[in-house]
Structure 1
């Protein structure tokens, strides 16, 4: 049901003419590459043809402003897998907004969302606490609205996959466990 070629085509139809940006399969780590002397368009490179990876990388692009979209990987700090607890908290702070957007994209596409702490070889934090923060951000975005590019893609995905649009709070299936302490 969720074919990566469909997502690539949908993204291109929605954004290429206006933003000169393409969604590209990669063989290694995901990265955003702005147009340069070797390639005349911007590339959102996602990992190994995975649909979930593509949605995650698109979410980062949707969050990035015009200036950041001129920088490799949007000019963001990134510390690879193996982060200590403090680094992991900093990583999660940066990831809350893009993962909330990713969750919205998943809802619009009828695709299952999984929060990603992305630190398999490092110190773990409370996954439910992080997911609760992403959930809360998504609720805020649903209530206050998404930016124009995000709205464009949400509408295109919902139309393509026959999902309800605009997104509503009631579409969220996740309920945070009540017994956990969510202190960050």
Structure 2
């Protein structure tokens, strides 16, 4: 059985990115957060929730997609609204969140980890959950695009390192990425 201790992800992330980007991945946070280097912080830090493996994968996906300017801003300069999001706010969330979730799914495959789509809003009605089919389809479409066209550079570096760490030698272009994989 594979060891899915999130500290393994921290070691892989640091090996990939610390020297070049002075960035670390740290668990134990009550909420995920990206903290750029400043007078009080000697490293750029990606915090993930508690010791959750999936949270660590998700936050690394956000970091791998964030451009240089976004990596200088607290939480990449994004807004966040919790479980009280309106339907309109949920649509805005989904319009930007499909890319990190597509990348998280690809990272999950490298680790032999089950990916779960997250609407990140516990107050959604049953109908809203059913309406998430478009969001799920956008995740699949983006993941397949990256599978076929290649990942962004940092994401590709991390994916390759995860494959090595978790003894998964399946090349990206051979991944089967189907909606039926989702819970």
Task: Give yes or no for TM over 0.5.
Answer: yes
User: Following superposition of structure 1 onto structure 2, how do residues 1-184 of structure 1 map, counting pairs within 5 Å?
Assistant: 1-123=3-125, 124-125=128-129, 126-168=131-173, 170-175=175-180
Looking at structure 2, the residues matched to 134 and 142 of structure 1 have their Cα atoms a distance apart, in angstroms, of: 12
Determine if contact 2:147/2:175 at 8 Å carries over to the other structure.
Answer: no
Residue 181 of structure 1 aligns with which residue?
Answer: none
Determine if contact 1:107/1:171 at 8 Å carries over to the other structure.
Answer: no
Q: Which runs of 5+ in 1 are unaligned?
A: 178-184
Looking at structure 2, the residues matched to 50 and 108 of structure 1 have their Cα atoms a distance apart, in angstroms, of: 17
Looking at structure 2, the residues matched to 27 and 40 of structure 1 have their Cα atoms a distance apart, in angstroms, of: 18
TM-score by length of 1: 0.90
SS at match of 2:179: coil
Q: Which runs of 5+ in 2 are unaligned?
A: none
TM-score by length of 2: 0.90
Question: RMSD between aligned alpha carbons?
Answer: 1.7
Looking at structure 2, the residues matched to 170 and 22 of structure 1 have their Cα atoms a distance apart, in angstroms, of: 28
